[in-house]
Amino acid sequence: MSVIDVMKQTSLLDWHTLLVGLEHGWCEKKSLIDYAEAVLGQVTSEIDGDLVTLATGESCFEEDLISTGLHFLETHGQPLSEEKKFEATEKWRFAHISLLLQKESSVEEKISELQDLYAEFGFPEDMASCSIYRNDGVDPLVAARGVLEGLSKRFQ
């Protein structure tokens, strides 16, 4: 299973999430292209040129796809605001933590990866107890489950 699989299973994929994910390297451009193809297949009115570019973007550079995606969102009244970026990042954080906790790896490996996630997402306050340096008596993986539960409630 991959992070993008977690996103699909939990129905957290949308344009904003995919664009933020692609920008941060949390997904590949194929995920955005697949999503655009699915949306294009549901279009019943005039077909948008940006949507066609996104759906056929195999040969495009990632930066160009992101730019086209941002333009597409703006022209459809859904620009990637700071609020949308934050929400998308939180969805990715949920998916990463969820995947980590599901992995069949040692406790030490999970805790090490958890430290990387804590840093990658900018040391969010709700993950402070996930840090091995916090020394607050909370098991980092137990803290991660708590963070996951909190994030899950936000997306229901």
In tens, the pLDDT along 55-107 reads 999 999 999 999 999 999 999 999 999 999 999 999 999 999 999 999 999 99
Separation CA 100–CA 60 (nearest Å): 31
Instruction: Report, as an integer, the average pLDDT of 124-146.
Output: 92
Separation CA 5–CA 8 (nearest Å): 5
Separation CA 149–CA 44 (nearest Å): 38
Q: What is the pTM of this model?
A: 0.91
